[in-house]
Amino acid sequence: MAVRIGDEAPDFTADTTEGTIHFHEWIGDGWAILFSHPKDFTPVCTTELGYMARLKPEFDKRNCKIIGLSIDPVSDHQAWVGDIEETQGHAVNYPMIGDPDLKVAKLYDMIHPNASGDKARTAADNATIRSVFLIGPDKKVKAMLTYPMSTGRNFDEVLRLLDSCQLTARHQVATPVNWKHGQDVIIVPSVSDEAAKQKFPDGWRAPKPYLRIVPQPKD
């Protein structure tokens, strides 16, 4: 079955480079990023995992754990991490799930349901598994991204997306096009003007009644 925004993130038990995890238990009461890559020892994936390691302190500040996945075994992950550190300058500092039986990949609809996982798998089998799932403390999927095999993801955008989702969760605001942390935000339509006066006593500017703009709230 397809996983959609608002669904509970499928729970699972899996082997990782940091031992066996039970996913929901591993998330705890914070946020989480589950991201997959097509295959170990490949060029685009090497750059991605190194960059995500560099960004990990930023996710830590936001109470968000990160965890990688591919349909390679954990032993391959462990053999590959040296290459990542050597070429990207950052050692992998988060767990990587080994999913050779495709259990998690299929659970999250990241790979074709008929993919076999054998060594002869084709590029078509791999094409859907450069995915990102942003999961909230309630264990529900808040956002999803899927990229083709040939395109490395922008993990700065994933961090921006996390900031936006966390603001919405805390303050009932949305973020406009190309928003960056610290810029003005929008009061969500579900908040009435009366309720907004309580939440935003300094008021707002409204080019249209449905477009109520306020400075980003401070935590």
Active site residues: 45
Taking 3-state DSSP, the helix, strand and coil percentages for the chain, each rounded to the nearest 5, stand at 35, 25, 45
The residue behind tokens 């991204």 is: 145
Task: Give the three-state DSSP class for 140.
Answer: strand
Using an 8 Å Cβ cutoff, are 30 and 21 in contact? no
Helix (H, G, I), strand (E, B) or coil at 91: coil
Beta-strand ranges (E) seen in the chain are 13-16, 19-22, 31-36, 64-70, 96-98, 130-135, 141-147, 173-174, 185-187, 205-208, 211-214
Q: Residue 67 pairs with which residues in a beta bridge?
A: 34
CB atoms within 10 A of CB 120: 7
| Bridge-based pairing state of the strands 96-98 and 64-70 | parallel
